[in-house]
Amino acid sequence: MTKAGSRIAALAAFLITFSACGSQQSAGPTITDPGITKDEIKIGATYPESGTASFYYAVAKGATAYFQYINTEKGGVNGRKITYVVLDDGYDPSKTPDKARELVQDQKVFATFGNLGTPNNKAVRDYYNAQKVPQLFVFTGASIWGSQYDQYPYTIGWQPDYVTEATIYAKYILQNAPTSKIAILYQNDAYGQDGWQGFRSALGDKVSMIVGEAKYNAGDPSDMRSQVNALKASGADTFFVIATPAYAASAATNAYTSGWKPKIYMNQVAASTVTWRKVVQ
């Protein structure tokens, strides 16, 4: 089972457990939460259908397809059909709060599932927790989701965090390529900074192996030519990329077309066949 499939299965198990509380006609409590009726469980999400991170809308489509399968092939969850409402925030955290309010106040969802983006989820976690709306399996590996659970009990992550992942890459390089000269490209927000700081920290007293660094802001034009040219000029032979797919693909493409052929380490956010298909086209 894929990681995304595991998340969806976990959500289904959660919904089965919760809805079972309301299926006992004689003894169980009556479900009064928004988004739960005798026929329906309504959940929501925000994803970038538009913008530079629209690659990720495929995840929302996959989740939608799985919920449709549960509804049509399995009869829903304890007889309740799952309605999955997905709103487009364009991967813009300034837009996510309005979308969150629309999900809670207008759509009246019971919970959210799989909201994408570190800055986007940070922008709405106070709201969801204040409203006591579960913010389940956020699609981000920022370390905060595993360390601030006391403050945000309604929010849970699922994937390996970016600090741990970057630490693994750094230790691998130290052990297997200790003379490397490293360049780093990272997204300038909590997502990219997590990976950047984790990588630097893991290098310890060998942090001078990093000879070049460049960053970009989410929403910037996705052409990474200027960043890549600067990193190439650093003399690096190793390239660690902490970026979303459009930026990562541009970085790798510009590296190779410029004649720079470093060994590339690409973190989980962009390490997919979709990204590399863009590189080879």
CATH fourth-level superfamily of 3-147: Response regulator (3.40.50.2300)
Q: What pLDDT sits at residue 31?
A: 61
Under 8 Å between Cβ of 49 and 92? no
Considering the entire predicted model, what is its pTM?
Answer: 0.83
For all residues of the chain together, what is the average pLDDT?
Answer: 90
CA atoms within 13 A on the CB side of 111: 20
**CATH top class, domain 162-280:** alpha beta
48-69: per-residue pLDDT in tens? 999 989 989 999 999 999 999 9
8-48: per-residue pLDDT in tens? 555 555 555 544 444 444 343 456 679 999 999 999 999 99
Q: What pLDDT sits at residue 47?
A: 98
- CATH 3.40.50.2300 intervals, the chain: 3-147, 162-280
Closest by CA to 186, choosing from 205, 169, 206, is 169
Q: What pLDDT sits at residue 272?
A: 79
Under 8 Å between Cβ of 254 and 224? yes
